[in-house]
Amino acid sequence: MGSSTADRITVRGHDLVEDLIGKVSLGDMAFLELKGRLPTPKESTVFNALAVTLVEHGMTPSAIAARLTYFGAPESVQGAVAAGLLGIGDRFGGSVEEAARTLQEALAGSDTSPNFGRLANQVVASHKERKRPIAGIGHPIHKPIDPRTPKLFEIAAANGLSGRYVELMSAISVEAGRAYGKELPVNATGAIGAIASELEIPWQVSRGLAVMARAIGLVGHIREELDEPLSAEIWSRVDEESSGR
């Protein structure tokens, strides 16, 4: 949190004007907000890569909601972005959070060289028993593999941030593939959940990472509505069939 007096504004111990404006990028400022300290150059590269990945996913339910809201309330850009963010819940943002949680909980008590195969096996078995899907693996559209995953893993490794969370995530993918008899590669939310864990972002905060990144993408959608509105067309396409008109 920050504070401000007549001639000084402080954000988490840093003087906004002297130390931050013009010196740190928006991504590093986001790191500061989430972690309470500025990133090292390697952390910055990796964190920005995660955030950039989460900005924009095309015409998602969240983006449609933002555009339709702007259609009804053009006086309130903030309302349209807020409406879009409200859809970053258990189904979407929750997937990053759930992957991070699974990894952080599995490794919480373990020593520095855990048996990843055994931990992965326990994770898969416990999900199978409770009939719950495993967050972070498989993808309905991006097949055979989500192209973001190898890219993110490569960037993490090149910057010394591919450690035991990434290793466990990969092991879970292998074990789950065996248990369910089909390819279940790590998807983008799994990669992000694992790498955010390498950055020691608590799993409870990882949904916030998705929310802040998506706010940027949603402003981009509203920006497009200004120039080339799609919302009336979206509405008519939905309403035509649903109301029987």
21-40 binders of a second copy (CB under 8 A): 21-22, 24-27, 29-30, 32-34
Phi-psi region of 151 (alpha: psi -120 to 50; beta: other; left: phi over 0): alpha
> Which of 169, 174, 186, 222 is the binder for a second copy (CB under 8 A)?
222
- Measured from the CB of residue 112, what is the shortest distance to a second copy in angstroms? 26
Which residues ranging from 136 to 195 are in contact with a second copy (CB under 8 A)?
141-143, 147-148, 151-152, 154-155
Closest to a second copy by CB, 64 vs 107, is: 64
> Which of 130, 131, 182, 245 is the binder for a second copy (CB under 8 A)?
245
Measure the CA–CA gap between 53 and 11, rounded to whole angstroms: 26
Q: Would you give the DSSP letter of residue 2?
A: E
Q: How many residues of this chain bind a second copy (CB under 8 A)?
A: 107
- Measured from the CB of residue 96, what is the shortest distance to a second copy in angstroms? 11
Residue 8: strand pairing partners: 5
Closest alpha carbon to 107 in 32, 193, 210: 193
Only segment of 104-112, 114-122, 179-187, 212-220 that touches a second copy (CB under 8 A): 212-220
Q: Are the C-beta atoms of 164 and 189 separated by less than 8 Å?
A: no
Measure the CA–CA gap between 27 and 40, rounded to whole angstroms: 12
